[in-house]
Structure 1
Amino acid sequence: MNWGEMFFHDWEGILRTIIVGALAYATLVLFLRISGKRTLAKLNAFDLVVTVALGSTLSALLLQKSVALAEGATALALLIFLQFLVTFISVRSPGFARLVRSEPTLLARHGAFCEAAMRQSRITEGEALSAVRSSGGRHISDVETLILESDGTISASLRRSP
């Protein structure tokens, strides 16, 4: 085993990574700007999959000599186009939207936890109470509704004081 090769192969590989990396990064930024704000919005499960796939593609493009810049750029464009297509169809078809996106879940109502929904969503009381405190409440009794949104955030609507 050559210990030196574990840390450094040659300058050609480093130069390729710098050039292809800069061009791939610029390509990804350009594609994301063209695709609009929706691509960079808060992530739901589908968006997270696309984001991970984009990162994996960019990584392969940077580190695998067998992947040319044009192929990597095509893969990035394809992923962004597919995300655009899914969101385009989702806006026009409620049934399709339900298929690819999760619905918000009611975690608490009128000052009481919905235990079954909390269990099914794998949300602890501590996590829920943290969201209540972030919204200005102190205890679950301060809550009118507590909702696990489709992007994974928890939003709290507090009861109005009489």
Structure 2
Amino acid sequence: MNLTPAFDHMFQLPIPIIEKLLRPIIVYLALVLLLRLFGKRELAQLNPFDLVVLLSLSNTVQNAIIGEDNSITGGVIGAFTLLAINWFVVRVLFRSPRLTRVLEGRAVVLIRDGIIDRKALKHEALTREELVEVIHRQGFEHLHDVHHCELEPNGSFFIEAKDPSIADKRHDELLSKLEALNKEIAALRVRPATS
């Protein structure tokens, strides 16, 4: 049995290596730009449609990345190139906060003191219902319970409550009781022993 044709088929590159390196870089940069242009909403995956878009996106660009190459070598080169360009971009962004703001954008305040900023919602193409769903997922019953809500550049939501949470209140109670116990122990140590 001659295994040479099988190995040739699995490992031989049908396209030039420079093309294998350039394809993933171009697709990566195009996706970064497109996701920036279309907003944080796609990253937040607020509804099934957003998820479908992200899943379909990976399949859509697959052929652009690999071309007519199904070889293992081509796949490894493509994967390496994607990881390398991402490593490079992350390092550059780490060193340049200004460039990070330009590429990633800024957080958008959606709620201030329980009041929705409708202009910000419209800009981010979010409905009131989607925002309420996010608030509920974070454990808030009503919008007026939210002091501050931001949509971060990475698509996550930062939500701050108006009142301390029950866990925070219990934590504060526990700290005050421990402080009281410490004072009692200190007072007992200072008192002279009576015989």
Aligned ranges for residues 23-34 of structure 1 at < 5 Å? none
1:99 to 96, 102, 108: 102
Q: Which amino acid aligns with 2:103?
A: V
CA distance in structure 2 between the aligned counterparts of 1:129 and 1:160, rounded to whole angstroms: 18
Residue number among 84, 88, 96 corresponding to 1:85 in the alignment: 88
Residue 146 of structure 1: which of 130, 145, 149 is its match? 149
Give the aligned residue type for 1:97.
T
CA contact (8 A) 1:106 1:148 kept: yes
Structure 1: how far apart are the matches of 2:72 and 2:63?
11
**1:118-159, Cα deviation, whole Å (9 max, x unpaired):** 100011111111122122221211110111122222232111
Q: Are 1:158 and 2:161 an aligned pair? A: yes
In structure 2, distance between residues paired with 1:143 and 1:74? 48
Tell me how far apart the structure 2 counterparts of residues 92 and 60 of structure 1 sit (CA, whole Å): 31
Q: Matches of residues 1-162 of structure 1 in structure 2 within 5 Å?
A: 45=35, 52=58, 56=62, 60=66, 64=68, 66-160=69-163
Instruction: Give the match's secondary structure for 2:155.
Output: coil
Structure 1 counterpart of 2:136, one-letter code = R
Cα offset, 1:58, TM superposition:
10
Residues in 2 aligned to 1:79 and 1:87: alpha-carbon distance in whole angstroms? 12
Q: Which whole-Å deviations, capped at 9, do the CAs of 1:2-22 have from their partners, x for residues lacking one?
A: xxxxxxxxxxxxxx7xx96xx
Normalising by structure 2, we get a TM-score of 0.50
Three-state SS of the structure 2 residue aligned to 1:155 is: strand
CA distance in 2, matches of 1:127, 1:151: 17
CA distance in 2, matches of 1:58, 1:134: 37
Q: Do 1:107 and 1:118's aligned partners in 2 also have CA atoms closer than 8 Å?
A: yes
Q: Does the 8 Å contact 2:65/2:78 carry over to 1?
A: no
**Aligned partners of 2:66 and 2:78 also within 8 Å:** no
Local SS of the residue matching 1:156: strand
Contact 1:128 1:154 survives alignment (8 Å):
no
- Counterpart CA distance in 1 for 2:73 and 2:151 is 41
User: Conserved in 2, the CA contact under 8 Å of 1:107 and 1:117?
Assistant: yes
